[in-house]
Amino acid sequence: MKALRYLLFSFIILSFNHLDAQFQISAELRPRFEANNGFNFTPAKTTETTFYVVQRSRLNLAFDHAKYGYFLSLQDARVWGDDNVASGTTALFNNSSSGIHQAWMRIRLNDNSFLKIGRQEFSYDDQRLLSARNWTTTGVTYDALLYHHQNMGWTFDLGLSWNNDATKGTAAGTGTNTFTVDPISRRLRTLNFIYLKKEIKTNWYLSATGLLTGYQKDKTTSTIYLAGTYGIHSYFSNGNIDSRINLFGQNGKNQKGKQLKAWMFTAEADYKLKKFKAGAGIDLLSGHDASNMDAGYLVADHSFDLFYGMRYAKYGLMNQYVVQSNTGNGGLIDIYPRIQFLPDQSNKISVDFHFFSLQQSIKNPLQADQYLSGSIGSELDVVWTHSFSKELNLHTGFGWYFTNETYASMREIETGSLGQPYFGWVMLTFKPVLFKTEATNK
Cα dihedral sign, 39-40-41-42? positive
Per-position pLDDT tens, the chain of length 442: 555 555 565 555 555 566 678 999 999 999 999 999 999 999 999 999 999 999 999 999 999 999 999 999 999 999 998 877 665 555 666 777 899 999 999 999 999 999 999 999 999 999 999 999 999 999 999 999 999 999 999 999 999 999 888 777 777 667 778 887 766 566 788 999 999 999 999 899 999 999 999 999 888 888 899 999 999 999 999 989 999 999 999 999 998 899 999 999 999 999 999 999 999 999 999 999 999 999 999 999 999 999 888 988 899 999 999 999 999 999 999 999 999 999 999 999 999 999 999 999 999 999 988 999 999 999 999 999 999 999 999 999 999 999 999 999 999 999 999 999 999 999 999 999 999 997 766 5
- Can you give the residue ranges of every domain in the chain? 25-437
CA distance 196 to 208: 5
pLDDT value of position 440: 67
CA distance 137 to 75: 10
CA distance 41 to 159: 33
DSSP strand pairing (259-273 vs 300-301): parallel
Q: Residue 50: phi, psi to the nearest 5?
A: -100, 140
Cα dihedral sign, 407-409-411-413? positive
Beta strand residue intervals within 162-203, DSSP E: 190-201
Secondary-structure class of domain 25-437 per CATH? mainly beta
CA distance 367 to 375: 18
Number of H helices, E strands in the chain: 3, 24
pLDDT value of position 239: 83
pLDDT, tens only, 281-324:
999 999 999 999 999 999 999 999 998 889 888 999 999 999 99
Q: What is the pTM of this model?
A: 0.91
CA distance 26 to 60: 5
CA distance 135 to 319: 11
Cα dihedral sign, 272-274-277-278? negative
